[in-house]
Structure 1
Amino acid sequence: MLIATLIVACKPKEKKDSNKNQTSSEWKVDFLDNFDKFNSNNWQDQRIWVNNETHCYVPEGEFGTREVSQGTLKLKVVDTGKPSPCDNLDKNGKQHPETQYVAGRIVSKNKKEFIKGKWTARLKLGSNGEPSMFPAWWILGAQNNESPVQEEDENICWPLKGSGEIDIFEHHGDHQKDHFTAGAIKSLGECDKGDWWSLRKGFDVTLNEYHEYSVEWEGSDLVYRVDDKEIYRNVGEGDKYPEPMFAILNFAKITDSPMSGKEWVMEVDWVKHEYK
């Protein structure tokens, strides 16, 4: 997944070693955003064309696509009703065609990046199960070479080591209501070649109610939880992600199916990272 035209000041990566304080069994929080405001020290917009998405990612919450209010972040897909030019580019520099749909996507790239540990977000959807709907909460290796490229070491293509992907929550609205998938992307050893499905599994949950979705490193395993209850585990896959990783929250529209209303919403109460 990933690209953008937004360039911001570079910040040093926050690298937390998973071996730190291994004698303690308690998780310690080293990053928490309660979304009392949009904090540019934690996040930046990402404008990118991937996965043949049919919307345009817009900056600064245009059209209400990225809004922080009443203590939560709202990321939306919005139907503007009129096709307009889109400046999002794909990996090869091709520009997205005109579209009437706009969307929000934020990343903690070069803001908050951590090695291993535990990532959690508390979120809900305003609606679910509609064709084309594709909200996601995931993490990506910090050396990923897709825009915004802001540091010299951001030169590794997805999904090679340094640019690996772990999906904590993805809802594929075309498939089923109140259903999401989670799992790692298996690298096939070449740029842009990944196995999306062999390490992934689907789960039922009431998506329009708040739940905590997390992934944590437990030894060599990746453990996925909902409301702190283990639902799935990628056995032996954790060691394949030794790099600092950053967080991504986005709401995408992935096919040409029309929206039934004017907007879709993913509401995020908080995001945090912990270590032991």
Structure 2
Amino acid sequence: MSFTKSNNYHKPYNSYWIYLLIILLCFTSCKSNDKEYSNNTYTTDKWEIDFLDEFNIFNPNNWQDQRIWVNNEKQCYVPDGKFGTREVSDGSLKIKVVNIEEQYTCDNLDKHGKQIPETPYVAGRITSKNRKEFIKGKWTAKLKILGGSQPSMFPAWWILGAQNNEPPVQEANENICWPLTGSGEIDIFEHHGDGEKKHYTTGAIKNLGKCDSGDWWSLRTGVETTLNEYHEYSVEWQGSDLVFRLDDKEVYRNIGQGDKYPEPMFAILNFAKISDTPMSGEWIMEVDWVKHEYRK
């Protein structure tokens, strides 16, 4: 911009316009930097939601109960919200462990057909298997543990390959054993109540090349969180990596592991009791919503 001097030109007026021009240039530069920073972060505007359950009802088109005995856990998974173990109310899902204070004969079997012993502990476990299954993308759940951590707690939010051969087996191609490709596991949120009280673990399970042989620890980390407050726990495929996020902030990355999960995957929400430490009453994992997204 140029100014032409005239007889009525006043220097203060020229200084005002120069000052205003500097302010405008600074403002434009600042806005440009903000935009560049936003473009360099993986925000929701780069994703399209293809599945969202806000738990206004329990929708059987999205979820089904799952009954299985694993990890030598101390609870029996029961269907249909029996004993209040699965509840949808006030816009959220509650998955519970309940002490019914009497021995319960359980029909849960392990992978080899062994039946779980009688137990006073019953619990909820739901899966989107054969309901909502997706290849890669981004899975997120907003959840909390009411009352925080207690010994023996083992709540989890995770995904599993759709060809997994564990119950319920409903399709012909569900014939691959854990954790081989087709039946791979990614743990988005697990809390071990017998460990640190204010953290969760997250990461993939390494496939060691044969049935029932997985490395639980080399691809996993612990992350501090406030369990009794809502947080968003997610995993996304970013190139060849798996990126784990807490409230959309990256907290861990499995470098080069994303391509090892090419199969469709389904989600699981469950609450287990992992040790013999006594409990009374009920434990509750409350889930506000679950969603899956794909990149635009």
The answer, yes or no, to whether TM exceeds 0.5 is yes
2:278 corresponds to 1:262: no
If the length of structure 2 is used for normalisation, what is the TM-score? 0.84
2:100 corresponds to 1:97: no
Give the Cα separation in 2 of the matches to 1:32 and 1:129.
Answer: 28
Structure 1 alignment gaps of length 5 or more: 1-23
Alpha-carbon offset, residue 25 of structure 1: 6.9
User: Corresponding residue for 2:146?
Assistant: 126
Which amino acid in 1 is paired with 2:91?
G
User: Corresponding residue for 2:67?
Assistant: 47
Q: Which has the higher contact order (CA 8 A, sep 6+)?
A: 1
Structure index of larger Rg: 2
Instruction: Report SS of the residue matched to 1:76.
Output: strand
Alpha-carbon offset, residue 230 of structure 1: 0.5
Q: Is the 8 A contact 1:129 1:175 kept in 2?
A: no
Which amino acid in 1 is paired with 2:284?
V
Flag as ranges the 4+ runs of structure 1 deviating above 6 A: none
2:162 corresponds to 1:142: yes
Counterpart of 1:153 (choices 173, 177, 180) is 173
Alpha-carbon offset, residue 129 of structure 1: 2.6
Give the Cα separation in 1 of the matches to 2:162 and 2:180.
Answer: 11
Give the Cα separation in 1 of the matches to 2:276 and 2:151.
Answer: 9
Give the Cα separation in 2 of the matches to 1:127 and 1:51.
Answer: 24
Instruction: Report SS of the residue matched to 2:83.
Output: helix
Identity %: 75
Instruction: Report SS of the residue matched to 1:40.
Output: coil
Larger fraction in helix: 2
Structure 2 alignment gaps of length 5 or more: 1-43
Q: How many residues align?
A: 252
Question: Counterparts of 1:1-276 in structure 2 under 5 Å?
Answer: 26-259=46-279, 261-276=280-295
Give the Cα separation in 2 of the matches to 1:191 and 1:241.
Answer: 16
Give the Cα separation in 2 of the matches to 1:121 and 1:161.
Answer: 24
1:69-121 deviation digits (Å, cap 9, x = unpaired): 00000000000001110010111111111000000000000000000000000
Which amino acid in 2 is paired with 1:86?
C
1:205-257 deviation digits (Å, cap 9, x = unpaired): 10100000000000000000011000000000000000000000000001111
**RMSD across aligned C-alpha pairs, in angstroms?**
1.0
Instruction: Report SS of the residue matched to 1:207.
Output: coil
